[in-house]
Structures are given as structure tokens and as C-alpha cells.
Structure 1
């Protein structure tokens, strides 16, 4: 099997404006579909949400030179090259890696997690919000999530300590004992604010406390980790990729590490990150926020490891399900089941892609 084509569709921007904390302006999300085809008729695909359309157009000539004629089974050599020996991760390199794994799964007629070494057939899901303007809106989306089967729920609140405490107390009042609750202020607090909120989350028995301060503030994170029983989690630096992990792990700076797999190097990088964390007895909780196929890439890694508890699903459900026939949904008992189709395991709606495409490269 040899790669014979590398194509991309620039899709219409997402109609929804996205925002995850108060200080950010609402943003437009752009989508690109990357397609890598072979001489045997298999095609690896991924629809992105972090990839700048201009970046893929700039990268395509070099990608074609690197990929065409190669066997997709050489994914490690290819991904290592694209990330400059893991020092320069990018959304482009990550998307290529995900496509190559999709190709291999389709070639072998197996879901990717089985090629990685299946650890389990399902994983507990949690609903992950965008930012809302009022406390009642958070309670409402929590109720909708619970009614859809979710038994875990994460708030992206205002990023302001007192306002976030109000939201957390309101949601806890209704859903304590019904759903595991988490807070992600997206690095918004200073240290004093982080401790103030942390004390309340400890009192409310939240499941974890994510990115309370800058991920680069290792001393501050370590202080929080040692001060609270509630797990503290940080997000690895997407600029550093795997090379940034040792500073969090060697001194037990945090209890778990989150990663953006569609930036740090795709499935290949995520499985390495999981192994690093496992060696230090640390949880590895990848982000799976994104389009259906980006979610799927994360899901396959999670189903092939043991040191991960929860799978993240954007709510309202469907806000990033662009161009798909199949989507990922929470079961009535709060889980996501392993896909059964080969590769990433979720089919694209090609009629929808045709209508969404503004440029084919």
C-alpha cells in the first residue's frame, strides 16, 4: 500500500461563535478536511477545528513531497519528521498523523484502538460547556446534559473567581450526587484567586480542577497540588509537545496532564504521552473537544490506555459535528462506546462536505 494523493477541502466557517472565558472575544472556528489516499483505494481523513486553512495550503506541497510513495505504516517515521523529532508540534502534523492511523485501520479492517492494543470497550463521558452569560444558563445546560445521559459535567465559566464560585455552587446544589463536577477556568486566575476557588471546590467535592493558573507557573501549580485533595490538572504546552512533560512529572507538579492531541502530534504523540504519565503514576486526560474525527482520534487512545478516566464531549452536543454522517454521543448510562467500524470509525457525509467546501486544494 502506497500513498498516491494528499488533498484538502477548506470548509465554511462554523456558524456558532465560540467562547470559553469572559476575557475572550467570541471567536469563529474554521474547518479543514484533509484526505490522504492510496493506490489500493483506501483513504485516511480528518476534519479539523484548530487548523488555519492558510497553514494547510502552505504545507500541502511539502506534505505531498514527503508522503506520496510512502507506506502509511511508516507513520512513526513520518510523524517524527513532521514534528522535527517531536520538538515542533503543529496542527498540520497532527492532522497528517491522524489520517495515517485512519488509513492503517481501514487497511487492516480494525478500529484504531485495537491496533494500539485495546484496554477497554467504553469510557465514561463528560459534558464540556462553552461560556454562558448567566448562572441559570449553566444550570440549564447541566440539566440538559444530565437528561441526555451524562454523569459528569465540566464548567467553562467566567474566569473570574467570585463569579465562578457562584456558578459552581449553583450547579452543585442541583446535581451533587448526580454528576461528577469539574471546573476549567482556562488559566484565568492568579494564585490568590486559584486558592480561593480551590477551597470552595474542595468543599463541594469537585472531581478535578483544571488549568486554574498559567500552565507555565510550575511553582504555583505545585503549591495547589500539595494544598488540595481535589486533583489539579494542567495542559501541556502545545509549543513544546512531549518535550514539555518532564517538568510536570518529575516533581509531581500536577495530578494529571491534559493534552491537545490534534496539536501535539496526533495519535502517535498521545500514546507516548500516556506512557510517560503512566511511568510517573500520573493521570493522562487528553482533550477530546473538537470535531467528530478529532474526538475519535482521542477516543481511540483513551480506549487503549488505563490511566485515563473521562472522555470530553462539547455541549450542546453537535456544535462541532461538521460534515459527518456518524457522530459520537453519550449513552443513557453516561459512557461512550468503542467504534466498531475500521479506522477512526465514523463516516463522513460527502454530500454535506460538497455543500460546505469553499475551496479544494
Structure 2
């Protein structure tokens, strides 16, 4: 099997009128569909939302030179070269890696997680909110998520300690005995604010406390980790990925590592990150927020490891399901089942892709 073509669709940008942090304005997000074809008729596909049209247009000539004629089974060699030995990952290299694994699954007729070595066939999901304007809105979305089957719920609140405490108390009062609760202020607090919120979250028995302060503040994170029983998780903004995680693990600055797999090097980098965390007896809880195929890439890794508890689903469900015939949804018991189709396991809606395509490269 050899790679014969690499092409991309620049899709119509979507105006997402939502945000995850108070100071962030609503923004327009570009989507790129990358397609890698092979001589046996299989095609690896991934829609990314972390890559711009300019980036993929600039990258395509080099990608074609590198990839055409290669065997997708050499995914480790290819991805390692694209990321300069995992020192310089980015959205382009990560999306290529995801496409290559998609090809391998399709070629062998199995979902990717079985190629990686299945640890399980389903995983508990949690609802991951956008930011709302009022406390009652958070209670309302928590109720909606519970009714859909979610038994875990993560708040992206205001990033302001006293306001976030109010939200957490309100949601806990309504659903604390029904769902595991988490808070992610997206690195918004200073150390004092982080400790104030942490005391309340511990009192409320939250499941984890995510990105309370800047990921670069290792001493502050370590103080929080030592001070609270509630698990502290961080590191999504560590853009070098795998090479950046050892210092957090060696200093016990966090209880679990978060990563954006569609940035740090795709499925190949995530499986290595999971093994690194396992060696330190730490959890690996990848961020799986994104388009359906990005979510799927994370899901396959999570199904192939033991040191991960929860799969992240953006809510309201469907807000990032651009161009898809198949989607990922929580089951009534709070779990997400493994896909049964080969590769990533979720098909594109080609009629919708044609409507969305601004330019094919």
C-alpha cells in the first residue's frame, strides 16, 4: 500500500457565538478537511479546526513530496519527521498523523483502537460547556445534559473566582448527587484566586480542578496539587507536547496531564504521552473537544489505555459536528461506545462537504 495523493478542502468558516472564557470574544473558526489517498482505494480523512487555509496551502507541496509513495504503515517514521522528533508538533503534522491511522484502520478493516490494542470498548463521557452569561443558564444546561444521559459535567465558567464559586455552588446544589462535576477556568486565576476556588471545590467534592492558573507556573501548580485532595490537571497549553510533560510529572506539579491531540502530534503522540503518564502512575486525560473526527482520534487512544477516566463531549451536543454523516453521542447510561466501522469509524456527509467547500487544494 502506497500513498498516491494528498489534498485538502477549505471549508466555510463558522461563526461560533460562544466562548470558554469571559475575556474571549466570540470568533470565527476555520475548518480544513485533509484527505490522504492510497493505491488500494482507502483514504484517511480528518476535519481540523486548528489549522488555517493559509497554513495548509503553504504546507501541501512539502506534504506531497514527503508522503506520496510512502507506506502508511510507516506512520511512526513519517510523524516523527513531521514533528522534528516530537519537538515541534503543530496542527498540520497532527492532522496528517490522524489521517494515516485512519488509513491503517480502513486497510485492516478494524477501528483504530483495536490496532492500538483495545483496553475497553466504552468509556464514561462528560459534558463540556461553553461559557454562559448567568448562573441559571449553567443550571439549565446541567439539567439538559443529565436528561441526555451525562453523569459527568465540566463547567467553563467566567474565569473570575467569586463568580465561578457561585456557579459551582448552584450546579452542585442541583446536580452534585447526580453527576461528577469539574471546573475549568482556562488558566484564568492568580494563585490566591486559585486557592480560594480550590477550597470550595474540595468542600463540594468536585471530580477534578482543571487549568486553574497558567500552565507555566509549575511552582503554583505544585502548591495546589500538594494542598488539595481534589485532583489538579493542566498542561493543555504546553505546545511542545510530550517533550514538555516530564517536568510536570517529575515535580508532581499535577495529578493528571491534559493534551490537545490534534496539536501535539496526533494519535502517535497521544499514545506515547499516555505511556509516559502511566510510568509516573499519573492519569492521562486528553482534551477531546473539537470536530467529530478530532474527538474520534482522542476516543481511540482513550479506549486503548487504562489511565484515563473520561471522554470530553462539547455541549450543546452537535455544535462542532460540521460535515458529518455519523456523530458521537452519549448513551443513556453516561457512556460513549467504541465505533464499529474501520479507521476513525465516523463517515463524512459528502453532500454537506460539497456545500461547505470554498476551495479544494
- What is the TM-score with the length of structure 2 in the denominator? 0.99
Report deviation, 1:29: 1.5
d(CA) in 2 for partners of 1:237, 1:245? 11
What is the Cα deviation at residue 214 of structure 1? 0.2
Question: What displacement does 1:236 show?
Answer: 4.2
- Residue in 2 aligned with 1:152? 152
Q: Superposition pairs for residues 235-254 of structure 1, below 5 Å?
A: 235-254=235-254
Give the whole-Å Cα distance in 1 for the aligned partners of 2:154 and 2:172.
11
- What whole-Å deviation, never above 9, does each CA across 1:112-140 have from its counterpart, x for those lacking one? 00000000010000000011111111111
Instruction: Report the 3-state secondary structure (helix = DSSP H, G, I; strand = E; otherwise coil) of the residue aligned with 2:186.
Output: coil
**Alignment-derived partner of residue 84 in structure 1:** 84
- Change over 3 Å in CA distance of 1:75–1:53 after alignment to 2: same
Distance in structure 2 (CA, Å) of the matches to 1:59 and 1:222: 39
In 1, Cα distance between the equivalents of 2:31 and 2:105? 23
- CA deviation after TM superposition for structure 1 residue 12, in Å: 0.7
CA distance in 1, matches of 2:51, 2:197: 33
Residue 46 (structure 2) pairs with residue 39 (structure 1)? no
* Distance (whole Å) between structure 2 residues aligned to residue 209 and residue 28 of structure 1: 29
User: Which residues of 2 match residues 175-214 of structure 1 at below 5 A?
Assistant: 175-214=175-214
Aligned to 2:62: 62
What RMSD in Å do the two structures reach over aligned CA positions?
0.7
Q: Which residue of 2 aligns with 1:219?
A: 219
- Partner secondary structure for residue 97 of structure 2: helix
Question: Retained in 1: the 8 A contact 2:127–2:150?
Answer: yes
Distance (whole Å) between structure 2 residues aligned to residue 243 and residue 27 of structure 1: 31
Distance 1:241 1:89 in 2: 7
Aligned to 2:344: 344
1:271 aligns with 2:271: yes
Deviation for aligned residue 1:59: 0.2
Determine if contact 1:288/1:313 at 8 Å carries over to the other structure.
yes
Q: Give the structure 2 partner of residue 75 of structure 1.
A: 75
Alignment check: 8 A CA contact 1:236 1:244 kept: no
**Distance in 1 separating the partners of 2:122 and 2:183:** 24
Residues 15 and 27 in structure 2, CA contact (< 8 A), matched pair in contact too: no
Q: How many residues align?
A: 361
Q: Distance in 1 between matches of 2:28 and 2:15?
A: 8
2:111·2:344 contact (CA, 8 Å) conserved in 1? yes
Alignment partners' CA distance in 2, 1:304 and 1:178: 28
Determine the structure 1 residue equivalent to 2:141: 141
Deviation at 1:52, TM superposition (A): 1.5
Structure 1 distance, partners of 2:289, 2:214, is 20
- Contact 2:292 / 2:327 at 8 angstroms: preserved in 1? yes
**Per-residue deviation, 1:239:** 2.5
Instruction: Give, in whole Å, the separation in 2 of the partners of 1:296 and 1:104.
Output: 15
Distance 1:106 1:304 in 2: 18
Q: CA deviation at 1:286?
A: 0.3
After superposition, the C-alpha distances for 1:143-164 in whole angstroms (9 at most, x for unaligned) are 1100000000000000000000
Structure 1: stretches of 5+ with no match in the other structure: none
Is the CA contact (8 Å cut-off) linking 2:236 and 2:287 kept in structure 1?
no
Counterparts in 2 of 1:7-22, with a 5 A limit? 7-22=7-22
Secondary structure of the 2:33 match is strand
Match of 1:107 in 2: 107
SS at match of 1:28: strand
Residues 299, 72 of structure 1: CA spacing in aligned structure 2 closer, same or farther, 3 A cutoff? same
Runs of 5+ in structure 2 lacking a partner? none
Query: Partner residue of 2:325?
Result: 325
Q: 1:17·1:29 contact (CA, 8 Å) conserved in 2?
A: no
Deviations 1:8-48 (A, max 9, x none): 00001124223101011112121100000011110000001
**Contact 2:257–2:283 (CA<8 Å) still a contact in 1?**
yes
1:333 positional shift: 0.3
